[in-house]
A and B are shown apart, each in its own frame.
Chain A
Amino acid sequence: MTKTISFILNGDEISCDIQDHWTLLHLLREELGLIGTKEGCGNGECGACTVIVDQLAINSCLFLAADVQGKQIQTIEGLAVHTGSLHPIQQSFVDNGGIQCGFCTPGMIMSAKALLDKNARADKEAIKHALAGNICRCTGYVQILDSVEAAGRQMAGNQGKGAAAAKDPGTITQQSMNKKAGEVIT
C-alpha cells in the first residue's frame, strides 16, 4: 500500500509517497539518495544504519518509514550541511583516528550525537554504553571512544561559553528542526 507521509529531514520539511513495508533505511538510501546511512546487517545488529529520530538514536533498518510521520530525522548528511564545516563530533573522529574504513562511521557519529546532545559531559562508561550497538571491525574502538570523549569536552566547553549555537552546526539543525515542529527545547 502506498501512502504519503510528511516529516522533517535534517531541518527540511519533506513529504513523500512510501510503501507500507519500507524501512526508514530504504527510504533514505534508495528513495531519497542519502547514501551516508549504511547497511551492515539489515537486522538491528550492527548500528551502521543509525539515525536520530526525535533525539533518539535508532536502527533505521528496523524502523518503518511509515512511523516517521510528523517526526524529526537527523542523518549524517545533516550534521555539516548548514555551515559546510564539520560538526565537532565529525571533526573529532577525523582528528583522533576514529575512522579507518569508515563504514561504521556515520552510525557511530549519530549514536554519539544522540548521547552528547543530551549530555556532552558523558563519561567513558556512558559512551561505551551508547555505542554498544555499533560494531566496528577496524579500530578496536579505542580511538572512537577517544573521539567521542574529546568531542564531548568541546561541546560542553562551547555550551559553557554559551556559544553552542554559533559553534555547533548540529545544534543549529536541532533547534531549527524543533522550532519548525513547534516544539520547545529544554
Chain B
Amino acid sequence: MSGYNIVGQRVPKLDAAQKAMGRAEYIQDVKLPGMLYGKILYSKYAHAKITAMDISRALALPGVHAVLTGKDIPPKMRMGFYKDNPPLKADKVCCFRDEVAAVAAVSEQVAKKAVSLIEVEYEVLPAVFDPEAAMEKDATLVHEAHKTNVLKLPWKLHYGDVEAAEKDSAFVVEDRFTTTWVTHCCLSTSGAVALFDASDNLTVYSNTQIPSLAQKDFLETLGAMGLKGKRVRVIKPVIGGGFGSKLDTYAYEHIAILLAHKCRKPVKILFDRKEEFEATSTRQPTVIYIRQGCDKEGHLTFRDIRMVLDNGGRTSWGATTPSVMMMPITSLYRVPNVRYNAKCVYTNNTYSQAMRGYGNPQATFAIESCMDMLAQKAGIDPVAFRRINQNEPGDETPQGFKITSCGLAQCIDAVEKELTQGSPLEDGEGIGYASLIHVGGGARIYKSDGCGAILKMDDYGRVDIFTGGTDMGQGLDNMIAQIVAEELGLLAEDINVVHSDTDVCPWDVGAHASRSTFVAGNAALGAARRAKQTLLAFGAKLFEVAPEDLVMENRTVSVKNDPEKTMPVDKLLRKAHFSPGGTMLMADYFYDPPNENMGKDFRCNLSVTYSFGVHGVRVHVDKETGKVLVKNYVAAHDVGRAINPMLLEGQVYGGVIMGLGYALSEEVMIKDGQIKNPNFRDYKLFTAKDAVPIMAPVIETHDPDGPFGAKGIGEPGCVPTAPAVANAIYNAVGVRIKDLPITPEKVLAAIQEQSKGS
C-alpha cells in the first residue's frame, strides 16, 4: 500500500517493556551518593512586602546544610523571557507561589522541618485579582517599577479592513467568552537534581522538554553566580508527562543549582502533588471579545478579536501564547479581514506557561463557538457553513501562512459520516462540530527552529542515533526509529534512540509546537540518508556496480535485479570497518525548517506546513441536572502520514480526553490568589470511568516536506474539543455556554434561564 516496511507500522513504543516492568527511571528515582534534599518556602500572601526574615532556627537544626533567601540571589539572576522573576524573592512577593527561602538537608523530613522554622514577616499590600480591573487607571500595581500592569508586548495586528468589511456583511455576531486556569497534571511531579564537579562544571538532572535551552538558562545562572566559562550538562531521566509544563526553567531548578554550589553536594528538589498544583504553571486564562461576520452566501467577511489574558504575578511563556492564537484567528477558515489585540495583564494570581495547544484551545473555543452562532444567524447548516469557508491547499492566509497539504475538507467529510450514521438523536441529544489549524512543521519562535541528529552503526548492523529531540511519552523515540529503519532497510528494534543527555545529543530548540516528528524526524532522516550514501558507496565498490543499483532492505544490501549479489548489512559494515584504512559508519545532520520568524506586523510563514483537524461530538444533556454525557466522539486529523498509527491514535485519544476535561470539568479554583483545589480529589480529571468512545480517522495528505510525508499531531487532539462540546450542547438543548468549564451548574442555570424567558 504505502510501499514502506516500517513506516506506517504499529510498532510498540520502544521503551514500553521497560516501563511495563517498572524499570524506567524517572526523576523520583535519581539518587546520587551524598545527595541532599532541598525544600522551598513559599509566600504566605498574594501581595506583600517582606519586612524581616529569621533563618537562625532553621540553620541550627541538625542535618541542615544550607538556607538561602532572596538576599543570596546574585543581583542579575532573573528567570523567564520577561526577566521579572528572581528564583527567591528578597523584598516583595506578588503571588502565593513566590519563593522566599530554600533549604538543603540530609533528608526530606529534615528539610521540611527546617522550612517550617524559617520566620518571615510581611507587610500585606492591597492586591488585584481580576485582569480587567488590573487594567484600570488607579489599579494596584503588581510591579511598581513596571509602572503599569499591562505587559509591554506587541500582540496587535490588523490585516485588510475590518470596519469596511463589517459594513458589507449580511450577518454579524458578537459575544464574550472566558476560559479559566487548568493545569498539566503530569502524573510525575516536577523535580531536579543539581551537582557540581571539582572544577565547578554543573550537571542537572531534570525532566525538561528543552534540554538545550535549559542548558543555556543554567549557563546564565552560572554566569550570574560568577562561574564564567564552565560547562553545563543536562540529563533527562524518563519524563512522566510534559504537555508544555517543562518548556521553561523554573525556580526549583535554579535553587537546586544554588544549593548544590553552596553545599558542594548533589541537591535534589522534588515536588509533592500539592506543590505541583500550587507552584507549577497553568494554561493562560482569557477573556475574549469576538465579532465575526459573513455575507449572504455564508462567506466569512471579517473576524475581530480583543483579548485580555491574566498574566499572574510573574511572566513565563504563557504571556506569548497570543502569538500562536494569531494562527487560528487569522487562518482557521478563509477570512479576508482580521483584527486582533491582546493584552497580558499582571495580577496577583498564579502565572501561566505553555500547555498543549499554546493558546490555540482558548482562541478556537471563541472562534468555533461563534462560527455556529453565525451559521445559525445566516440560516446555514453548521457543517455546510464550515465547508463554504474551509481552507484549501494553495491558500495563503491573511497572515501570510502558505497552506501546502490540507485535508480539512476530508476531515469534515469523515467526521460527518461517522457522527450521522448512528441512531437518530433522542430528546436531550445534540451534535456539535469544531475544526482546528495548528503548525505541522515546527514554528520559528527562536533564532533557530532546528534539531540535530548524530548516527553511528556498529559491527552488528545496529544503529545508535543521538537526537536533540525529547520523548516525554508521546513517542518520538519510535518516530525516529521507524524513520531511520525505513531509510536503512532495518527493523525498528535495530535502532537505539538516545535523547537524554546534552553531552552526547546535539542541539534542539525543544519539544513544543508539535514539532518533534517533523523536525527531529527530518534531522534523523537526513543523517540516515548520509549514512546510507556512505554505505552504498562502499557496497558499490565491492559489487562493482553503481550505488544507484543497490537497495537496502530486510537488513541486507543487494544489487537490483541480481539476486546473487547480496550481503547482510552487518557483514558489509564489518568489511568496511576491518579492511585496510577501515571506516566506521557515522553521519550527522542538522535540520532547520524554512519557517519564518514573525515580522513586525506578524506576517510570516510561521511553519512550512500546517496540520488540520475536525472534531465532532454527540452529547446527551440531562435537563434536570445539567449533566453532559459524551455519547460518541470523532476526531479526524490530517497528519500528512501516520508513521505509527497506534501511537498516533494514542496522541489523539489522550488529547481528546484532556480537551474534554478542559471543556467540562477541569479548573484550578483560585480565590483571592490562592488555589483552593490542589489535589486530584477536587481538581476533576477524567478517570477510566469517564472514558468515552472515541474514533480517530486519519487523513493522509502526504506532506511534501514532512519525513515520509508526516506532519505534527501532538497538540491538535485537545484544540477544538471545548467548542465542539459547547456546540453540541447548544444543538441539544438550545443553551450556549460561553465560560469554561461547562459544569452541570452552568448548564442547568442556562436551561432554567431559558425556560423563564420562554
A43-B679, A97-B649, A101-B239 known; A141+B657 contact, CB < 8 A: yes
Task: List the B side residues contacting A39 at CB < 8 Å.
Answer: 28
Whole-angstrom distance between the alpha carbons of A96 and B689 in the complex? 19
* A132 B21 Cβ-Cβ under 8 A: no
Residue of A35, A75, A138 touching B25 (CB-CB under 8 A) = A35
Task: Render B11-49 as a binary contact track against A, CB cut-off 8 A, 1 for contact.
Answer: 011011111111111101100000000000000000000
A45-B679, A97-B647 known; A140+B691 contact, CB < 8 A: yes
How close is A79's CB to chain B, nearest CB, in angstroms? 7
How close is B357's CB to chain A, nearest CB, in angstroms? 15
Whole-angstrom distance between the alpha carbons of A77 and B20 in the complex? 9
A94-B12, A141-B691 known; A101+B240 contact, CB < 8 A: yes
- Which of B23, B25, B687, B689 is most buried by chain A, counting CB atoms within 10 A of its CB? B687
Task: List the A side residues contacting B646 at CB < 8 Å.
Answer: 96-97, 143
Task: List the A side residues contacting B458 at CB < 8 Å.
Answer: none
| Interface residue A70 (Cβ < 8 Å from any Cβ of B) | no
* A137 B187 Cβ-Cβ under 8 A: yes
Whole-angstrom distance between the alpha carbons of A29 and B681 in the complex? 24
Whole-angstrom distance between the alpha carbons of A134 and B689 in the complex? 10
| Interface residue A37 (Cβ < 8 Å from any Cβ of B) | yes
Whole-angstrom distance between the alpha carbons of A136 and B187 in the complex? 7
* A76 B21 Cβ-Cβ under 8 A: yes
A100-B654, A138-B654, A140-B656 known; A36+B23 contact, CB < 8 A: yes
* B656 A105 Cβ-Cβ under 8 A: no
Task: List the B side residues contacting A128 at CB < 8 Å.
Answer: 688-689, 691
Task: List the A side residues contacting B239 at CB < 8 Å.
Answer: 101
Task: Render A101-132 as a binary contact track against B, CB cut-off 8 A, 1 for contact.
Answer: 11111100100000000000000000111011
* B186 A93 Cβ-Cβ under 8 A: no
| Interface residue B474 (Cβ < 8 Å from any Cβ of A) | yes
| Interface residue A99 (Cβ < 8 Å from any Cβ of B) | yes
Task: Render A34-52 as a binary contact track against B, CB cut-off 8 A, 1 for contact.
Answer: 1111111111011010000
A94-B16, A128-B691, A139-B654 known; A103+B22 contact, CB < 8 A: no
| Interface residue A1 (Cβ < 8 Å from any Cβ of B) | no
A35-B25, A141-B688 known; A100+B474 contact, CB < 8 A: yes
| Interface residue B185 (Cβ < 8 Å from any Cβ of A) | yes
- Which of A91, A95, A127, A136 is most buried by chain B, counting CB atoms within 10 A of its CB? A136
* B16 A99 Cβ-Cβ under 8 A: yes
Closest residue of chain A to B186, judged by CB? A137
| Interface residue A9 (Cβ < 8 Å from any Cβ of B) | no
Closest residue of chain B to A75, judged by CB? B22
* A97 B13 Cβ-Cβ under 8 A: yes
Task: List the B side residues contacting A57 at CB < 8 Å.
Answer: none
Whole-angstrom distance between the alpha carbons of A129 and B189 in the complex? 25
* B240 A140 Cβ-Cβ under 8 A: no
Task: List the B side residues contacting A34 at CB < 8 Å.
Answer: 22
Task: List the B side residues contacting A109 at CB < 8 Å.
Answer: 20
Task: Render B674-696 as a binary contact track against A, CB cut-off 8 A, 1 for contact.
Answer: 00000111000111110100100
Query: Secondary structure at chain A's binding surface: helix, strand, loop or mixed?
Result: loop
Task: Render A69-99 as a binary contact track against B, CB cut-off 8 A, 1 for contact.
Answer: 0000001110110000010001101111101
- Which of A37, A100, A134 is most buried by chain B, counting CB atoms within 10 A of its CB? A100
Closest residue of chain A to B656, judged by CB? A140
| Interface residue B503 (Cβ < 8 Å from any Cβ of A) | no
A97-B12, A142-B694 known; A103+B188 contact, CB < 8 A: yes
Closest residue of chain A to B694, judged by CB? A142
Residue of A80, A99, A135, A142 touching B685 (CB-CB under 8 A) = A135
Task: List the B side residues contacting A104 at CB < 8 Å.
Answer: 187
* B679 A137 Cβ-Cβ under 8 A: no
Task: Render A13-49 as a binary contact track against B, CB cut-off 8 A, 1 for contact.
Answer: 0000000000000000100001111111111011010
Whole-angstrom distance between the alpha carbons of A29 and B655 in the complex? 31
| Interface residue B238 (Cβ < 8 Å from any Cβ of A) | yes
Task: List the B side residues contacting A134 at CB < 8 Å.
Answer: 687-688
Residue of A90, A91, A137 touching B241 (CB-CB under 8 A) = A137
Task: Render B624-666 as a binary contact track against A, CB cut-off 8 A, 1 for contact.
Answer: 0000000000000000000000110110011111100000000
| Interface residue B143 (Cβ < 8 Å from any Cβ of A) | no
Closest residue of chain A to B12, judged by CB? A94
A interface residues, how many (CB within 8 angstroms): 54
* B680 A135 Cβ-Cβ under 8 A: yes
A102-B238, A106-B22 known; A94+B17 contact, CB < 8 A: yes
How close is A141's CB to chain B, nearest CB, in angstroms? 4
Residue of A36, A91, A132, A143 touching B687 (CB-CB under 8 A) = A132
* A142 B653 Cβ-Cβ under 8 A: yes
How close is B726's CB to chain A, nearest CB, in angstroms? 20
Task: List the B side residues contacting A143 at CB < 8 Å.
Answer: 646, 649-650, 653
How close is A124's CB to chain B, nearest CB, in angstroms? 9
Closest residue of chain B to A99, judged by CB? B16
How close is B647's CB to chain A, nearest CB, in angstroms? 6
* B473 A100 Cβ-Cβ under 8 A: yes
| Interface residue B184 (Cβ < 8 Å from any Cβ of A) | yes
| Interface residue A144 (Cβ < 8 Å from any Cβ of B) | yes
Task: List the A side residues contacting B20 at CB < 8 Å.
Answer: 76, 86, 90-91, 93-94, 99, 102, 105-106, 109
Whole-angstrom distance between the alpha carbons of A95 and B9 in the complex? 12
| Interface residue B214 (Cβ < 8 Å from any Cβ of A) | no
* A77 B21 Cβ-Cβ under 8 A: yes
| Interface residue B272 (Cβ < 8 Å from any Cβ of A) | yes
Task: List the A side residues contacting B507 at CB < 8 Å.
Answer: none
Whole-angstrom distance between the alpha carbons of A135 and B689 in the complex? 10
Whole-angstrom distance between the alpha carbons of A128 and B680 in the complex? 18
Closest residue of chain B to A92, judged by CB? B20
How close is B405's CB to chain A, nearest CB, in angstroms? 26
How close is A2's CB to chain B, nearest CB, in angstroms? 16
| Interface residue B472 (Cβ < 8 Å from any Cβ of A) | yes
Whole-angstrom distance between the alpha carbons of A7 and B19 in the complex? 26
* A101 B694 Cβ-Cβ under 8 A: no
A48-B187, A131-B688, A135-B685 known; A100+B650 contact, CB < 8 A: yes
* A38 B26 Cβ-Cβ under 8 A: yes
- CB-CB contacts below 8 Å: B475-493 with A: 475
| Interface residue B155 (Cβ < 8 Å from any Cβ of A) | no
Residue of B21, B184, B189 touching A40 (CB-CB under 8 A) = B189
| Interface residue A145 (Cβ < 8 Å from any Cβ of B) | yes
Task: List the B side residues contacting A106 at CB < 8 Å.
Answer: 20, 22
* A137 B658 Cβ-Cβ under 8 A: yes
| Interface residue B530 (Cβ < 8 Å from any Cβ of A) | no
How close is B559's CB to chain A, nearest CB, in angstroms? 37
| Interface residue B273 (Cβ < 8 Å from any Cβ of A) | yes
Closest residue of chain B to A108, judged by CB? B688
Task: List the B side residues contacting A90 at CB < 8 Å.
Answer: 17, 20-21
* B17 A86 Cβ-Cβ under 8 A: yes
Closest residue of chain A to B682, judged by CB? A45
| Interface residue B252 (Cβ < 8 Å from any Cβ of A) | no
6 contacting pairs across A/B (C-beta < 8 A): A46-B187, A79-B21, A97-B10, A103-B26, A136-B688, A145-B688
User: Given known contacts A77-B21, A140-B686, what 7 new A-B pairs fall within 8 Å (CB)?
Assistant: A86-B20, A97-B13, A100-B654, A103-B187, A132-B688, A139-B653, A139-B654
The 10 closest A-B pairs by CB, nearest first: A36-B22, A101-B473, A102-B19, A103-B240, A140-B657, A76-B22, A140-B653, A45-B680, A100-B473, A131-B688
Q: What residues of chain A have their CB less than 8 Å away from a CB belonging to chain B?
A: 29, 34-43, 45-46, 48, 75-77, 79-80, 86, 90-91, 93-97, 99-106, 109, 127-129, 131-145
